[in-house]
Structures are given as C-alpha cells and as structure tokens.
A and B are shown apart, each in its own frame.
Chain A
Amino acid sequence: MNDTELDDMLNKWDAPPVPRGLRERISQEPPRKKWKFRLPSGLFFGLAAGAAMCFIGMTAAFPQAMGPTPRFNLLSEVLEYKDDGSSTIREYRASTARDGAEIMLQQTFPDSFFMTIHQGFFNTVHRILGLEHGPAPMASDCSYPGHAVLGQETLVGYQTTKLRYTDDSTGRYTEWRAPQLDCIAMKYTWEKLVKGEFQLAEMKKPMTVRINQAQ
C-alpha cells in the first residue's frame, strides 16, 4: 500500500456533522469571566515610582505640612570645620523637639540638592512613624546619665544646660539643651581627638526660635 492509497482509505472515514444544539449550548451561557484588574508590571512600577517622587517632592516642598503644627521651631545652622580651622555651612535646619528628641522639620543643604530632597523624605517618614527617640530619661534641667553637666548658658533668649560626653578614643560631644523647649539641643559641638588634642569638627548654632500658636 502506498501513501496515496492510504490517504484514500483514511478519507473513507467521515466525521459526523456538528450535532444540532451543541453550538447553542456553548454560546448560551458562557461562564462569566471575573473581571480582574491587573496592571502591567512596567506600568505598576512606573506609577509607584511616580507616587514616590510626588511624595518626596511634597515632603521637600512642604515639610512642615506633614503633621500637626509643632509648639516651636528652632532655626539653626550646622557648620563643618576643616583641619585648618576654616568652616562651611553644611545645612540649615528647622526643627522642634519631643522629650529631648530633635524632630527635623526641614533640612536644607546649600551644596547638595539631592541631600535636601533625600532628607526631606527621610525626615517625613521618621516623623510620621514616630521614629525619633530622645536620650535616656532627662531631669528637669535636661541632664541625663553619662553626660557631665558643665553649667548653664543662655542662647537666643533661652536658658540652656551645657552637657558633655567624652570618648577618650574619638573626641567629645557638647550640647546645650533648653528645658523650656522640650530639652532640644539648641547647640552642639563635636570636637574630634587629633594627636591628643580636641579639634572642632562640627557645630550646630541656633539662629532663632519661633513659638507657634497653639491650634
């Protein structure tokens, strides 16, 4: 038997026509497809990135709008000192405090737009999640364990307690905390230890305090 003869024989087997009613049965009640909303993954990530950028932009532009109005705003600047003693302003800062913890409202880095945006986002997230924690329980004068009380000073109209922590291997940290302003560190200095001597490396200086109207 050759291929043609086989094909001829196979063709003797006809299939019956499609039974009447089968078409109707299939088309009558098709199962309803549940509507399922699925974003293409690219679009999903695009939207997520867009939302994140929008959030970052908002937090950077209106950082103080993200939460209740704080009782006060401390405006300050943070300077960095080089080994030759010269300094540059690293950042301008608007902050408030709760139980001794400094809560950043806005940080502006004159030399780094990226850092300004980054910190705006970071600080907002911290504020919303309540991640700021102050030092261990503070006394009424803002002193707390591990820090020596060096005295009292007045800064931009507010009395402060001067405290110091010294690490024999790295340097010493001095801070001026204001009892009237929830023990915020209005000023601090970081002096690093270089060849047995303390050398000023960083300082936060208060510029002004604004007391906000209670809401």
Chain B
Amino acid sequence: MDLDSLLPPLFRFAYRMTGSVADAEDIVQECFLEVLKPGSSYDARRTPLLTYLFGVARNQSLKRRPKPELAVETSHRSTPESLALQGELEQVVARAVTQLPEGQREVLILAHYEQLPLAEIAHALDIEVTAVKSRLQRARAGLKETLGAYALSSEKRS
C-alpha cells in the first residue's frame, strides 16, 4: 500500500472526525510520524497498515474534539445559488455526524464513509465486534432522528 492510496481515506476520516481541514492535515501527518518513528508499535504481521493508521488517526482526533458550536468546514467547493439547499443539507449532515458521541461517530464514519468491515473497525478501535455493531446501530438511530426531523422541517418549508 503506497502513500497515495493511504492518504485519501485517512484524510477523509480525520476530517470527518474533527470537521476541520487543518486539523485533519495535522492528524494525517502525525499518523505517518507515528508509524515511521523508531520503536513504533506497528506490526505488519498483525494489522493492515491502513487499519493501524485509522487507529492512530482516531486517537489524534480525540485530542482535538470538535466544538459543538463550531460550523463544520464544508466550503471546500463553490456553492452556486442553485445548490444552496444542497450546501445547507451538507452542513446539517456534517453537524449531525460530528455531534454524535465519540464512540458512535468514529464507528459510523469508518463503516459508512470508509466502508471498513466491522472486524477491521473493531481492530482499529481496539474494541469487540459486538460493540462496533451496537455503536453503529445507536449512531444510525440517532442520525435517523436528527436528520429525519430536518427532512420533515425542510419539506414543510418547501
């Protein structure tokens, strides 16, 4: 696995965990410093590199918890007038995800956005697969409630 294939998923994960491009950059850098430093605990025979890096990125992300009030940076692309509604929806989804409890947020991001198998998520987060399943269920249930309410209100507005 080369750097080009590792960077995007790591960056996406870090970004979604923190809601900040700058923090995500720092986290990705930290991840590689961690794996390359002398005496690194990474063992290629035990863990796929990306899974290990997800674990490191998660720990780094938890040190930089997103502030609930802080708007998630979604201005990475221009939003024409016609796409205003989609821009708003993106903000809402981002805020809903980043405001999930940490344990649920990391599981949801890895499972939904990075399509990581449950076993690998368990490995990366150092928890049981059953815990991954239950956290994922709770995260999705919470999001259904939050985003369902938003969908309902936007329907009324339109």
**Do residues B28 and A26 form an inter-chain contact, with CB atoms below 8 A?**
yes
**Do residues A26 and B29 form an inter-chain contact, with CB atoms below 8 A?**
yes
**Do residues B89 and A9 form an inter-chain contact, with CB atoms below 8 A?**
yes
The residue in chain A whose Cβ has the minimal distance to the Cβ of B73 is A16
B65 interface residue (CB < 8 Å to A):
no
A43 interface residue (CB < 8 Å to B):
no
**Do residues B8 and A9 form an inter-chain contact, with CB atoms below 8 A?**
no
**Do residues B143 and A6 form an inter-chain contact, with CB atoms below 8 A?**
yes
Alpha-carbon gap, A116 to B69, bound state (A): 83
**Do residues B11 and A12 form an inter-chain contact, with CB atoms below 8 A?**
no
Tell me which residues across on chain B come within 8 A of A30, comparing CB atoms: 32, 36
A210 interface residue (CB < 8 Å to B):
no
Alpha-carbon gap, A17 to B33, bound state (A): 21
**Do residues B3 and A26 form an inter-chain contact, with CB atoms below 8 A?**
yes
B25 interface residue (CB < 8 Å to A):
yes
Contact A23:B7 (CB < 8 A) given known A12-B86, A13-B94, A31-B37: yes
A195 interface residue (CB < 8 Å to B):
no
Tell me which residues across on chain A come within 8 A of B56, comparing CB atoms: none
**Do residues B7 and A9 form an inter-chain contact, with CB atoms below 8 A?**
no
Contact A26:B90 (CB < 8 A) given known A1-B148, A3-B140, A36-B38: no
**Do residues A9 and B11 form an inter-chain contact, with CB atoms below 8 A?**
no
Interface residue ranges of A11-54 to B (CB < 8 Å) = 12-19, 22-23, 25-27, 30-31, 33-34, 36
B135 interface residue (CB < 8 Å to A):
no
- Contact indicator per residue, chain B 61-74, by CB within 8 Å of chain A (1) or not (0): 00000000000011
Q: Is the interface of B mostly helix, strand, loop or mixed?
A: helix
**Do residues B11 and A22 form an inter-chain contact, with CB atoms below 8 A?**
yes
**Do residues A10 and B32 form an inter-chain contact, with CB atoms below 8 A?**
no
**Do residues A19 and B25 form an inter-chain contact, with CB atoms below 8 A?**
yes
Tell me which residues across on chain B come within 8 A of A18, comparing CB atoms: 7-8, 11
Alpha-carbon gap, A31 to B30, bound state (A): 11
A111 interface residue (CB < 8 Å to B):
no
Expressed in whole angstroms, the minimum distance between the Cβ of B139 and any Cβ of chain A is 10
Expressed in whole angstroms, the minimum distance between the Cβ of A40 and any Cβ of chain B is 13
Alpha-carbon gap, A15 to B15, bound state (A): 7
Contact A16:B21 (CB < 8 A) given known A22-B7, A23-B7: yes
Expressed in whole angstroms, the minimum distance between the Cβ of A50 and any Cβ of chain B is 27
**Do residues B36 and A31 form an inter-chain contact, with CB atoms below 8 A?**
yes
B93 interface residue (CB < 8 Å to A):
yes
18 contacts between A and B (CB under 8 A): A6-B147, A9-B89, A10-B112, A10-B143, A12-B89, A12-B90, A13-B74, A14-B90, A15-B15, A16-B21, A16-B73, A18-B8, A19-B25, A22-B11, A23-B3, A23-B7, A30-B32, A36-B38
